[in-house]
Structure 1
Amino acid sequence: MTVETSLPTLQNEPPKNAKPLGTRLGLSNYLGLLGALLGMIVLFSLLSSHFLTYDTFSTIANQIPDLVVMSIGMTFVLIIAGIDLSVGSVLALGAALTSVAALQWHWPALPAALLGMAGATLTGCVTGAITVAWRIPSFIVSLGVLEAARGLAYQLTNSRTAYIGDAFDFLSNPVAFGISPAFIIAIVVMVAAQFVLTRTVFGRYLVGIGTNEEAVRLAGVNPRPYKIAVFAMMGLLAGLASLFQISRLEAADPNAGQGIELQVIAAVVIGGTSLMGGRGSVTSTFFGVLIISVLAAGLAQIGATEPTKRIITGAVIVVAVVLDTYRSRRRAG
């Protein structure tokens, strides 16, 4: 649900009769997202006789875990009024590190996976630390990290796809009702992240930082470690997404994740998270991912050309940004 809070409550417990964080203004946002999703399903079902099938939806579910977990991380980044453009390159770097450990060093699957995730997390820490230490906009820092991480991925793999084999197949192989463990893990991450955002002091501080960082500082809370932690979390989730991609491709591709940062940001904004910071919801982001994914699957099934797909997807993103700006101005007014 949409998270909003006021700065005076950062250090105080809410009244007993107050609604928990995330219950205000959330219903209309959910109804709008659900209506848009159902409307697209109905439209594509009318346009294609093969769309409204269990196979279609199970395929979508098994293809989106990497996008889901990365969008969750980006939700936290946008809530603190930041942005991370490097997530696609960090995904590729995590996959490259995993491939080096598995193929060159002959590590078992689990240690290799942990190395890849650790490397991605460290990269997120670097982005956050530079942003905080020198007060440089995260847009600029992450743009530099995007290039550096991609270059490292190319170096580690010699600019070639590294075929790992079936060591990580268990993540993408369906276990029940055609659903893969990767999707189940993504749902668990979503639930945990929504709990952290709406029911913990950590989540409350993040919303406060995105709303008015100076006021949070004056309230006695140092926002710097919280901001670094958020970028580290983004890196960790990009590393997890790299494992999901490896499990599907049975390989680490140094070109993986190119352009995925745009899909991630689009899903988060469509879900209602503000680009200005201070407002967002993990669960709504999940709806945003579903809208993006159903739109892509529906357009593919009706035979839309690639330029048409890009035009329609771009229009949806622009509309979402305009609505976000309209909501922000109404709230400010």
Structure 2
Amino acid sequence: MPTDIAPASPWSSRAKETLGQNGALGALVVLGIAMAILSPVFLTPQNLTNVGTQAAVVAILAFGQTFVIVSAGIDLSVGSVAALSAIVTGYGASNLGLPAWIAILLGLATGLAAGVVNGILISYGRLPAFIATMAMLSVARGLALVLSNGIPVKVPAEVAFFGSTLGGWLPVPLVIMVVLGVLAAFILNRTYVGRCMYAIGGNEEAARLSGINVGRQKLIIYGLSATFAAVAGLVLAGRLASGQPQAAAGYELDAIAAVVIGGASLAGGTGRAFGTFVGALVLAVIRNGLNLLNVSSFWQQVVIGIVIALAVLTDTLRRKSK
């Protein structure tokens, strides 16, 4: 039977599929247009670079958080682990006299160790992820304060490089964010560990019966999350030019929000690195736009809270509809 309807082009079909799978992308476009209308400064190259730089730390934390949420878990310790890793790096270089690269590896290893402890408590100690990671949140923050005596710790120049710019215009945090985003996407989509994350998040018991060693996979998942948090801590220390024991406080909530805004479900089984990246950009654009409009920081917290609530509500409605 003849029809007058022309077939959709591959490009348009792909664009519709992307927007359909990730409503946050559409929200980001709408936000960008609105901010551009309200503030002529928003679309300037310098401000857009600032938005990307501001999103970097939260995005890196959120990439690691994506692994956990896809597997139906939660990690409340990432902000504290980020601060502890930066403090350990600065302490190793300044107080112990370690070469910078060894101090950096020590900071990353600290993050990995915190994640493995989380995984052990959850997999073998049978603690709920919420409780285990909340305990690590307190332990890591406390250790950061103990090592630093509550004051900023000097970091080596190699760490300060993480907060610098290349060629005077390309922020290093932006480069690191993109690299880790690609790595997160590769892990989720192209590795056995990534497939296990989706299987465990979809149905943990079915994953176990299919032969997946769920306990070992959770060690890897929480280890990856904390290692990403350690990198975020080094980037933040580079931007601040010091290790701050109270740095990244509350960032775990922003990371979770970025993952959920990006289309992941708190029930597990769904989520993408690209969606998380878009979610982090949404939060950064909102904060940047409100700053440009001279909105009080107190009201900014209210707005971010509403955005988080709407994202979780959308996730709940989406799951009910399915």
* 1:123 is aligned to 2:114: yes
SS of the residue 2:170 aligns to: coil
CA contact (8 A) 1:163 1:252 kept: yes
CA contact (8 A) 2:118 2:133 kept: yes
Counterpart for residue 258 of structure 2: 267
Output aligned runs, 1:190-229, within 5 Å.
190-229=181-220
Counterpart for residue 42 of structure 2: 51
CA contact (8 A) 1:62 1:172 kept: no
Output aligned runs, 1:6-155, within 5 Å.
26-30=18-22, 32-155=23-146
What is the CA–CA distance in structure 2 between the aligned matches of 1:185 and 1:307, rounded to whole Å? 30
What is the CA–CA distance in structure 1 between the aligned matches of 2:112 and 2:190, rounded to whole Å? 24
Provide Cα deviations, 1:243-275, integer angstroms capped at 9, x if missing partner: 101111110000011111111111110001100
Q: Per the alignment, do residues 167 and 177 of structure 1 end up closer, same or farther by CA in structure 2, a change over 3 Å counting?
A: closer
Paired residue type of 2:155: I
Which sections of structure 2, spanning at least 5 residues, go unmatched?
A: 1-14
Match among 270, 277, 288 for residue 286 of structure 1: 277
Provide Cα deviations, 1:71-116, integer angstroms capped at 9, x if missing partner: 0000010011110111111111101101111101122221111101
Q: Per the alignment, do residues 229 and 180 of structure 1 end up closer, same or farther by CA in structure 2, a change over 3 Å counting?
A: same
Paired residue type of 1:249: L
SS of the residue 2:303 aligns to: helix
What is the CA–CA distance in structure 2 between the aligned matches of 1:65 and 1:212, rounded to whole Å? 32
CA contact (8 A) 2:163 2:237 kept: no
Provide Cα deviations, 1:188-239, integer angstroms capped at 9, x if missing partner: 1111211221122221111010111111111122111111101001111111
Which sections of structure 1, spanning at least 5 residues, go unmatched?
A: 1-22
What is the CA–CA distance in structure 1 between the aligned matches of 2:264 and 2:321, rounded to whole Å? 15
Counterpart for residue 237 of structure 1: 228
Aligned-pair CA distance for 1:165 = 5.6
Paired residue type of 1:274: S
What is the CA–CA distance in structure 1 between the aligned matches of 2:226 and 2:293, rounded to whole Å? 36
Counterpart for residue 299 of structure 2: 308
Counterpart for residue 12 of structure 1: none
What is the CA–CA distance in structure 1 between the aligned matches of 2:246 and 2:18, rounded to whole Å? 38
What is the CA–CA distance in structure 1 between the aligned matches of 2:156 and 2:221, rounded to whole Å? 33
What is the CA–CA distance in structure 1 between the aligned matches of 2:158 and 2:268, rounded to whole Å? 40
SS of the residue 1:251 aligns to: coil
CA contact (8 A) 2:93 2:156 kept: no
Counterpart for residue 253 of structure 1: 244
Bigger drift between 221-230 and 169-178 goes to 169-178
CA contact (8 A) 1:97 1:116 kept: yes
Aligned-pair CA distance for 1:162 = 1.2
SS of the residue 1:163 aligns to: coil
SS of the residue 2:151 aligns to: coil
Match among 165, 175, 196 for residue 166 of structure 2: 175
Aligned-pair CA distance for 1:24 = 12
Paired residue type of 1:29: Q
Paired residue type of 1:55: Q
SS of the residue 1:252 aligns to: coil
What is the CA–CA distance in structure 2 between the aligned matches of 1:200 and 1:107, rounded to whole Å? 35
What is the CA–CA distance in structure 1 between the aligned matches of 2:106 and 2:155, rounded to whole Å? 15
Provide Cα deviations, 1:7-64, integer angstroms capped at 9, x if missing partner: xxxxxxxxxxxxxxxx99654023x222211111111122222112111011122232
Bigger drift between 185-194 and 279-288 goes to 185-194
What is the CA–CA distance in structure 1 between the aligned matches of 2:110 and 2:155, rounded to whole Å? 18
Q: TM-score by structure 2 length?
A: 0.92
What is the CA–CA distance in structure 2 between the aligned matches of 1:79 and 1:177, rounded to whole Å? 38
Aligned-pair CA distance for 1:65 = 2.1
Provide Cα deviations, 1:257-314, integer angstroms capped at 9, x if missing partner: 1111111111110001100011111110000000000000000110001221111111
Q: Per the alignment, do residues 26 and 329 of structure 1 end up closer, same or farther by CA in structure 2, a change over 3 Å counting?
A: farther
CA contact (8 A) 2:59 2:277 kept: yes
Identity across aligned pairs (percent)?
37
Aligned-pair CA distance for 1:176 = 4.4
CA contact (8 A) 1:88 1:146 kept: yes
Counterpart for residue 18 of structure 1: none
Aligned-pair CA distance for 1:181 = 2.4
Paired residue type of 1:307: F
Counterpart for residue 330 of structure 1: 321
Paired residue type of 1:259: G
